[in-house]
Structure 1
Amino acid sequence: MYMTAVYIVFIVIAILVASIRILKEYERGVVFTLGRFTGIKGPGLIIIIPIIQKMVKVDLRTVVLDVPSQDVISHDNVSVNVNAVVYFRVIDPEKAIIQVENFHDATSQLAQTTLRSVLGGHELDEMLAERERLNEDIQEILDKQTDAWGIKISNVEIKHIDLNENMIRAIAKQAEAERQRRAKVINAKGELEASKNLLEASNILAQNPQALQLRYLQTLSDISNDKTNTIVFPFGSELGKFFTPKG
């Protein structure tokens, strides 16, 4: 009789231990009763009926998902290696457990295919220069497709876009050619501006002979400052009248 009572007490304690669950503040429990969804519980102390009920814990914190490197062929047929990071969290535990077998793996696979699809529709220059816009495009597509799973994609960041050595050298040559082109354009603009100024100055001097003579004398003054050379500078006929004695 004593052994029977001990056995019963042991069974009761075992049932109580098996029925008690403690969920943290960031956890929720999806409860199934005889295989049917019957509610979401937590956080705190949760009591479930052993054998009859089953509970699946879901973490509501933001998950950082590292998307493995993907080989991408850009729209202009350049092969690049791209990897990214995706930030997501569960906002509907019921959907996350019922609608998809493993929401973490499903989100990872979807992120990989979406990354290749989106980047493959852009040229290399766009990948390098417009990374922020591409991040937003990938995030929008992922967020729409994972909504049925109770998943919220909060952010997507492309980490690296790696090129092979031949492509790096080609881009370096292209950048150097572009710099030379810009330098030539700037130099040509400078020469054009200088020629316009010289033409304007010559027109002004041609309209005012006195200004021309003064400029001539100023040039003589500048040259005379050099004491190391003897300079013979001819006077024009117009300058002679400045030095002709009056009488």
Structure 2
Amino acid sequence: MVQELVIAIVAAASVGTLYLAAAAKVVKQYERGVVLRLGRLRDDVRGPGFTMVIPGIERLRKVNMQIVTMPVPAQDGITRDNVTVRVDAVIYFKVVDAASAVIQVEDYRFAVSQMAQTSLRSIIGKSDLDDLLSNREKLNQGLELMIDSPAVGWGVQIDRVEIKDVSLPETMKRSMARQAEADRERRARVINADAELQASKKLAEAAAQMSAQPAALQLRLLQTVVAVAAEKNSTLVLPFPVELLRFLERAQQPAQQQLTPPPQSAQPQRPTQPQRHAQPPRPADRPQRPAQAQRPAQTQPRPQQPSAVGPAPMPAPPPPAAVPARPSRPKPLAKH
């Protein structure tokens, strides 16, 4: 009798231990427990800690309430401007209603993943290539709204959606590189043209200032020569400015007018031969015939034109004073 009682107690203890093992549940801090009694949802959602369920009658499903990071597989699509691209993204979401996540959808993770892929394809077709490359914030917000609308009924909240990478074909990359290069070249030409315009205005002002003082141009030329000669790696050919030549010409003209003798006849006069049977000149007629009384004038050399760059030539010496010629004696007539 006692032995049978001991066996019964041991059997009851074993059954109680198995019952407690099956009924005892532990819910973690980041989880919530949804209890289904005979397939029907209980109103109370079990919080974190130790809890008990009726084995065989109640069933406990634990739902993770943490933020889930899920990558969206890369999707191939055609943009609104007919460019083929490949875009991948990442989505951050969490469960806010554990009962809805268990009852309303079979697998909320798979559902959110498929909805993200579909929304990503849709957003690619509605956007231009420039928007995908430069205006991603706006696309991220639009993609988040498209995924969050059906996910609200599943007890899931979409925290953030980010487009990670946009892959372009090689031909499109080369085209964009040429476009960027052409745009940079255009901006460089515009900048150079603007610089030339400003420089021309400054040069015009400088020319207006130098025109008032001709010596300023010569000083500027000398400054340029000094700047070029400092390198000592090139041959310098120094031109003379036209203003300098004009200045020298104007400086030499008054000196020429003062030193140049009056012009004489181009051809020297030949001495006249005394004619035979000519009467000796009378003293009264000598002043009236200067051509016979003077020696032949020597031909004066034509004054040289002053060089453009050399010093002014020395003035020619004055011609010697004319000496009156002696009257020739008449020869006696031949006797016949």
Any idea what SS the aligned residue of 1:101 has? coil
Aligned to 2:217: 216
Which runs of structure 2 are paired with 1:10-89 in the superposition (5 Å)?
10-38=14-42, 39-89=44-94
Any idea what SS the aligned residue of 1:190 has? helix
Q: Note if 1:149 corresponds to 2:151.
A: no
1:36-94 Cα distance to aligned partner (Å, 9 max, x none) = 22120020001111122111100111111011111121111111111111111111111
Q: Aligned letter for 1:42?
A: G
Whether the 8 Å CA contact 1:65–1:86 is kept in 2: the answer is yes
What is the alpha-carbon distance in structure 2 between the residues aligned to residue 156 and residue 68 of structure 1? Answer: 13
* Percent identity (aligned): 41
What's the TM-score, normalizing by structure 1? 0.86
Whether the 8 Å CA contact 2:210–2:217 is kept in 1: the answer is no
Any idea what SS the aligned residue of 1:186 has? helix
- Gaps of at least 5 residues in structure 1 are none
Any idea what SS the aligned residue of 2:18 has? helix
Give the number of the structure whose residues are more often helix, by fraction.
1
Whether the 8 Å CA contact 1:119–1:134 is kept in 2: the answer is no
Query: Cα 1:223–1:10, aligned 2, differ >3 Å: closer, same or farther?
Result: closer
- Gaps of at least 5 residues in structure 2 are 255-336
Query: Cα 1:204–1:217, aligned 2, differ >3 Å: closer, same or farther?
Result: closer
Q: Aligned letter for 1:197?
A: K
What is the alpha-carbon distance in structure 1 between the residues aligned to residue 246 and residue 88 of structure 2? Answer: 80
Any idea what SS the aligned residue of 1:94 has? helix
What is the alpha-carbon distance in structure 2 between the residues aligned to residue 32 and residue 224 of structure 1? Answer: 100
Query: Structure 1 residue 109: deviation in Å?
Result: 0.5
Q: Aligned letter for 2:195?
A: G
Deviates more, 1:16-25 or 1:236-245: 236-245
Which runs of structure 2 are paired with 1:1-247 in the superposition (5 Å)?
1-2=4-5, 3-38=7-42, 39-203=44-208, 209-210=212-213, 213-222=214-223, 225=226, 226=229, 231=238, 233=240, 234=242, 235=244, 237=246
Q: Aligned letter for 1:119?
A: I
Query: Structure 1 residue 22: deviation in Å?
Result: 0.4
Q: Aligned letter for 2:189?
A: K
Query: Cα 1:13–1:244, aligned 2, differ >3 Å: closer, same or farther?
Result: farther
What is the alpha-carbon distance in structure 2 between the residues aligned to residue 223 and residue 194 of structure 1? Answer: 17
Query: Cα 1:24–1:243, aligned 2, differ >3 Å: closer, same or farther?
Result: farther
What is the alpha-carbon distance in structure 2 between the residues aligned to residue 223 and residue 159 of structure 1? Answer: 58
Deviates more, 1:160-169 or 1:109-118: 160-169
Query: Cα 1:201–1:8, aligned 2, differ >3 Å: closer, same or farther?
Result: same
Q: For CA contacts below 8 A with separation 6 or more, give which structure has more relative contact order.
A: 1
Q: Aligned letter for 1:118?
A: I
Q: Aligned letter for 2:11?
A: Y
What is the alpha-carbon distance in structure 1 between the residues aligned to residue 94 and residue 252 of structure 2? Answer: 95
What's the TM-score, normalizing by structure 2? 0.64
Whether the 8 Å CA contact 1:92–1:151 is kept in 2: the answer is yes
